[in-house]
């Protein structure tokens, strides 16, 4: 499943965390520059695809899943992992 540029950015941000860490939507916004509604839409879509999950603790935080890690570590997303998103992500 090819990711959009926005999805790849959020997934790479979550992938950079330690396995026990999570990010709230507010923290995702601070790190990615997305609006709150935009970040929520992206993480909800990633969760529906099994690529991210919400830990449901207060405050609710988002984490990458094993499936999400496998996808973002694919060669085509290397620019996102290095912190400089390429413009050719679908």
The residues that bridge with 29 in the sheet, in sequence order, are none
DSSP assigned state of 66 = H
User: Which tokens go with 1?
Assistant: 């499943």
Q: Pick the residue with more confidence: 80 or 72?
A: 72
Write down the residue that tokens 């790479």 correspond to: 12
Helices and strands (H and E) in the chain: how many: 5, 2
What tens digit of pLDDT does each residue of 34-51 get?
A: 999 999 999 999 999 999
Q: Are 44 and 38 in contact (CB under 8 A)?
A: no
- Ramachandran region of residue 64, left (φ > 0), alpha (ψ -120 to 50) or beta? beta
Confidence at 90, pLDDT banded by 50, 70, 90? very low
Predicted local distance difference test score (pLDDT) of residue 79: 83
The predicted model scores a pTM of: 0.85
């Amino acid at each position: 499943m090819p990711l959009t540029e926005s999805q790849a950015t959020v997934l790479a941000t979550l992938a950079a965390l330690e396995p026990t860490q999570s990010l709230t939507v507010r923290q995702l916004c601070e790190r990615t520059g997305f609006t709150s509604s935009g970040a929520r839409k992206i993480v909800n879509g990633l969760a529906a695809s099994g690529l991210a999950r919400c830990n449901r603790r207060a405050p609710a935080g988002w984490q990458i899943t094993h499936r999400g890690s496998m996808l973002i570590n694919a060669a085509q997303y290397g620019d996102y992992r290095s912190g400089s998103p390429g413009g050719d992500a679908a």
